A and B are shown apart, each in its own frame.
Chain A
Amino acid sequence: MNILLKVQSLNYSVENVEIFGRHQDEKIILSNISFNLEQGKILGIAGESGGGKTTLAKIIAGVIPKTSGYLSFNFSNEWDKVKSSPVQILFQNSGEIINPYRTINEVIEEAIFIRFKDKNIINKEKENIFNSLNFSQSLWNRKGYELSGGEQQRAALARILAVKPELLILDEPFSAQDTESQLNLLNLFKSINEKFNISMICIAHNLKILKKLCDNIIIMYRGKIVEEGLTEEIFSSPKHPYTKYLLKAENYDLSYEDLKMDFN
């Protein structure tokens, strides 16, 4: 199997700083993170907020630098990183990244233009992307502000697919959506994974959705990986108490005593 991403003993911490005149101690955000992501696979990262999931995603995408450790990619294609990055993130508030005053058509064509200059190829590529996102032609010439939240999210996905990334990171894509939209989105990610052969990392606090989407799952607690394994294994025989806690929490079955537990 081809390993697309290898992470070894990755650490991230914030140094002693003064913010608004207040002293902030050194804080360890991520500690000793190691895992591999195979090409074409979908990896889920679960855990509560404040656990360091988004920080990890940002380091992988190169948005922020790591403090120490090792991070390596094995991309299939040559990438000119000045033009676009092979690692893309779909952020939580994806609607906000779509320019409200430009048509989606323009935005996507411009992004495809980085790779292809031929008008016919651009059109073909564009149709292919829009079709696989169920983005109907009547929406193509709408401007960002004329789209609903769900449509904006798909427009943001289209913009990402236009640069044909090799790794797509989804940061809490399901939060604040109702079940029907969650289900649609889930099927969409699966088909993108297959059709465009894009490896994915999906961050979510909801383990149940990850069960439907991911091949492997990592459970994070306060900056550390506490459990990792095949999705079926995590669900059929969770080992770490925190994993069991999360599964219970999803069913809203935690007692007040459970809530007071510290897993470190």
Chain B
Amino acid sequence: MFNVDIGDLRIKNNKILLEDIKFDLGKNKVFTILGANGSGKTTLLKSLTGLLDKRFYSVSGKVIFEGKNLFELDQEELRQLRKDKIKYLFQDAINSFDHLKSFGYYFNLLVKDKTEIDSLLEYFFLPNSKELFKLYPYEVSGGMAQRINFVLTLLTHPKLLFLDEPTSGIDLAISNLFLLKLKDFVNESNNAALLVTHDLVFANKVSDKIAFLSDGKLTEFYTSEEFFKIKDYSKLEKFLNSHNQLTS
């Protein structure tokens, strides 16, 4: 059974950054956490698999994935988990690559069959493996690096995908492409995705469930329809208002 249960998560450095964070991620769904810049969205995502630097942050609570509390695993076990079951897609894909290694290096690490690689590359409008493997990260644009990163991620067939601002700094066409693929991803083989973003339109289109993060607290997850009718949180109302003013 697939279920991620996050309970009483609390993150501190000098002060408490996030508190009382609780939610469940079920299969076949895209979950989205909306929030303004600086509300702690990235910090929250990183905390879930122990990616925050322990010298500066203390994290308490529990994250249960496939029956195990991730906060009780050691670094090696977490690393293994991030290698095949739980994958992250960060904003600055280009910086995830070593600029002195061609893309072939990363694909060869996965030892997958070329047909799967090439069909994914074609889907993402990328050059075929023969050409792409020879390219170096400094030779491609930011949007291309994002797509290559996504392909590499999908090739490992993760169960859970964490995405940090998937639409920021990339082309609208690529954002649309990501949206389509993300929907496919969660509908295939009982996967789930959790993304954090401030892009309301994207959140509305891609998500099954949405929650709002502000002042260190997370609301519960609502369906998209319910979410845009919420009136209980003044911060959220302000957030939705400025969006309406911009797009009316």
11 A-B pairs (CB sep. < 8 Å)? A175-B169, A179-B239, A180-B242, A182-B242, A182-B246, A209-B246, A249-B176, A252-B201, A252-B205, A253-B205, A259-B177
> In this assembly, does A212 line the interface, its C-beta being within 8 Å of a C-beta of chain B?
yes
Closest to B123 in A: A256
Measured in the bound complex, the distance between the Cα atoms of B177 and A254 in whole Å is 8
Q: Is the CB of B37 within 8 A of A178?
A: yes
Q: Given that A178-B37, A186-B246 are known contacts, is A251 also in contact with B205, CB under 8 Å in the complex?
A: yes
Q: Which A residues touch B100, using CB under 8 A?
A: none
Residues of chain A within 8 A (CB-CB) of B141 are 49-50
Chain B residues closer than 8 Å to A254, beta-carbon distance: 173, 176
**Contact indicator per residue, chain B 179-219, by CB within 8 Å of chain A (1) or not (0):** 11000000000000000001011100110000000000000
* Chain B positions within 8 Å of A182 at CB level: 242, 246
The number of residues on chain A lying at the interface, defined by a beta carbon within 8 Å of a beta carbon of chain B, is 30
Please measure, in the bound complex, the distance between the C-alpha atom of A89 and the C-alpha atom of B180, giving whole angstroms: 36
A46 CB to closest chain B CB (Å) equals 10
How many residues on the B side are at the interface (Cβ–Cβ under 8 A)? 28
Q: Taking A49-B143, A179-B239 as contacts, is the C-beta distance between A259 and B173 under 8 angstroms?
A: yes
Query: Is B247 an interface residue, CB under 8 A from the partner?
Result: yes
Other-chain contact of A179, B168, B179, B202, B246 (Cβ < 8 Å): B246
Chain B residues, CB < 8 A from A175: 168-169
Q: Which residues does chain A contribute within 8 Å of B143, judged by CB atoms?
A: 49
Q: Is A96 at the interface (CB under 8 A from chain B)? A: no
Question: A248's closest neighbor in chain B, by CB?
Answer: B176
* Contact between A179 and B243, CB atoms less than 8 A apart: yes
The reply to whether B37 and A183 form a contact with Cβ atoms under 8 Å apart is no
Nearest-CB residue, chain B, relative to A20: B139
For the complex, what is the distance from the CA of A249 to the CA of B202, rounded to whole Å?
11
Q: Which residues of B contact A176 (CB under 8 A)?
A: 168-169
The reply to whether A256 and B169 form a contact with Cβ atoms under 8 Å apart is no
Chain B residues lying within 8 Å of A177, measured Cβ to Cβ, are 37
A146 within 8 A of B: no
* Residue-wise interface mask of A (227-264) relative to B, using a CB-CB cutoff of 8 A (1 in contact, 0 not): 00000000000000000001001111111101100000
